[in-house]
């Protein structure tokens, strides 16, 4: 019996087992939840954790995590500069192509931008969140300077214009030549320091379920209560899975000017981990006119994060 048949048979057995139970009512969360596929629009739309709490879909049958494919839903990331030299400023150029090979020139803005570009090293120690410039012909470009040699992943997070188009994150490999020395993922910590700021992380990342993450920003022990809007929010959080750099879609809870979201010290997000394992979280926040990035290692699942204070060894990669 091949694997496909086994799975089909297993699914049929499950359906039979739950078939009667399903009729009883909606109290049976796991069954009800499994029936519902999340709409793609939800992946990048602001929403409250309460709204998502109930429909935390199973990570096993939902849409695959973003960023693992160079081509998806008819769109392909064409990275024109797949090789750069470590320590040298280079123009990174790329195009998003449709099924006919035409460069995409119409985008729907998300978080103030047509396209968000994330560049992360395979060992997750170098991170860039960039906003490239698009030429009229659809070619995007942005200068990058990657400090370390090795393998990187480039993520283009965008939504094509047009009705029904969904948010996509396409990923492509990028190599930085030079002497390569892979780093080790820093251990989980509840606190990250960057440029005199301390950011404390609360909440857990849970596999297959939406959960709330809180990030509290202080400077010199004093809460920062005048964060500046950045990309339509008081913070922008990206999470990447260690091992394959799966890209998680994270939603800010509330936005500046909505009458209930304070400009710090706490910034709140809703995130869903596609599986257990280790993740690296990158929080961009803006204060005194400068965008800084706080970085955390978090474990999802049985081996959950144990908060501890300390200074992360690696503070490389302040975006922008
Ligand atoms: Cu961005």
CATH number at residue 144: 2.60.40.10
Q: Confidence class of residue 1 from pLDDT cuts 50, 70 and 90?
A: very low
111 and 88, same structural domain? yes
Single residue among 177, 206, 233 that ends a domain in this structure: 177
Compute the distance from residue 68 Cα to the ligand 1 centre, in Å: 18
286 and 205, same structural domain? yes
Compute the distance from residue 211 Cα to the ligand 1 centre, in Å: 22
Compute the distance from residue 171 Cα to the ligand 1 centre, in Å: 15
Compute the distance from residue 106 Cα to the ligand 1 centre, in Å: 17
Compute the distance from residue 44 Cα to the ligand 1 centre, in Å: 12
Structure confidence by residue, pLDDT tens digits, 111-132: 889 999 999 999 999 999 999 9
Q: CA-to-CA distance for 46 and 17, rounded, in angstroms? A: 37
213 and 160, same structural domain? no
Compute the distance from residue 224 Cα to the ligand 1 centre, in Å: 22
Residue 61 inside a domain? The answer is no
Residue 78 inside a domain? The answer is yes
Residue 248 inside a domain? The answer is yes
Structure confidence by residue, pLDDT tens digits, 247-305: 997 888 998 999 999 999 999 999 999 999 999 999 999 999 999 999 999 999 865 54
196 and 305, same structural domain? yes
206 and 116, same structural domain? no
pLDDT at 303: 58
- Cβ-Cβ contacts under 8 Å for 253 (sequence gap 6 or more): 46, 47, 48, 49, 212, 261, 268, 269, 270
Structure confidence by residue, pLDDT tens digits, 59-114: 444 567 899 999 999 999 999 999 999 999 999 999 999 999 999 999 999 988 99
Structure confidence by residue, pLDDT tens digits, 207-223: 999 999 999 999 999 99
Residue 316 inside a domain? The answer is no
Compute the distance from residue 178 Cα to the ligand 1 centre, in Å: 28
Compute the distance from residue 130 Cα to the ligand 1 centre, in Å: 6
Residue 93 inside a domain? The answer is yes
Q: Domain of residue 302: give its range.
A: 191-309
How is the beta sheet containing 236-241 ordered, strand by strand? 247-248, 236-241, 277-287, 290-300
146 and 79, same structural domain? yes
- Pairing type for strands 168-177 and 191-194 reads unpaired
Compute the distance from residue 320 Cα to the ligand 1 centre, in Å: 10
Q: Confidence class of residue 191 from pLDDT cuts 50, 70 and 90?
A: very high
CA distances for 161 relative to 15, 69, 140, 168, 261, angstroms: 39, 20, 16, 12, 29
Compute the distance from residue 3 Cα to the ligand 1 centre, in Å: 40
Single residue among 177, 200, 228 that ends a domain in this structure: 177
Q: CA-to-CA distance for 144 and 175, rounded, in angstroms? A: 13
Least Cα distance to 284 among 87, 129, 164, 132 occurs for: 129
Residue 63 inside a domain? The answer is no
Compute the distance from residue 127 Cα to the ligand 1 centre, in Å: 12
- Cβ-contact 272, 92 below 8 angstroms: no
- Cβ-Cβ contacts under 8 Å for 280 (sequence gap 6 or more): 120, 124, 127, 185, 239, 240, 242, 295, 296, 297, 298
Predicted TM-score (pTM) of this structure: 0.76
Structural Rg of the chain based on CA atoms: 20
Compute the distance from residue 231 Cα to the ligand 1 centre, in Å: 7
Number of domains in the chain: 2
Compute the distance from residue 8 Cα to the ligand 1 centre, in Å: 40
């Amino acid at each position: 019996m091949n694997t496909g048949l086994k799975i089909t048979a297993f699914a049929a057995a499950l359906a039979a087992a739950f078939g009667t139970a399903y009729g009883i009512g909606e109290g049976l969360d796991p069954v009800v939840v499994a029936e519902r596929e999340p709409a793609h629009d939800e992946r990048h739309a602001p929403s409250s954790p309460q709204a998502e709490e109930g429909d935390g879909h199973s990570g096993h049958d939902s849409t695959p995590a973003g960023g693992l494919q160079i081509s998806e839903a008819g769109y392909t990331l064409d990275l024109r500069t797949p090789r750069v030299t470590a320590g040298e400023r280079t123009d990174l150029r790329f195009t998003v192509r449709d099924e006919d090979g035409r460069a995409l020139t119409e985008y729907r803005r998300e978080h103030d931008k047509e396209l968000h570009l994330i560049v992360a090293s395979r060992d997750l120690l170098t991170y860039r969140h960039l906003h490239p410039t698009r030429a009229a012909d659809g070619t995007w470009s942005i200068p990058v300077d990657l400090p370390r040699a090795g393998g990187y992943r480039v993520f283009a997070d965008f939504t094509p214009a047009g009705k029904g188009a969904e948010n996509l994150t396409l990923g492509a490999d990028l190599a930085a030549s030079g002497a390569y020395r892979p780093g080790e993922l820093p251990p989980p910590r509840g606190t990250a320091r960057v440029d005199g700021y301390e950011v404390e992380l609360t909440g857990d990342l849970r596999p297959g379920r939406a959960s709330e993450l809180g990030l509290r920003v202080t400077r010199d022990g004093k809460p920062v209560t005048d964060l500046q809007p950045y990309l339509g929010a008081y913070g922008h959080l990206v999470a990447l899975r260690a091992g394959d750099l799966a890209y998680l879609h994270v939603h800010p809870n509330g936005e500046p000017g909505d009458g209930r979201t304070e400009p710090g010290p706490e910034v709140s997000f809703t995130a869903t981990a596609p599986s257990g394992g280790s993740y690296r979280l990158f929080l961009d926040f803006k204060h005194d006119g400068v965008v800084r990035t706080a970085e955390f290692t978090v474990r999802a699942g049985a081996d959950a994060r144990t908060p501890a204070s300390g200074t992360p060894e690696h503070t490389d990669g302040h975006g922008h």
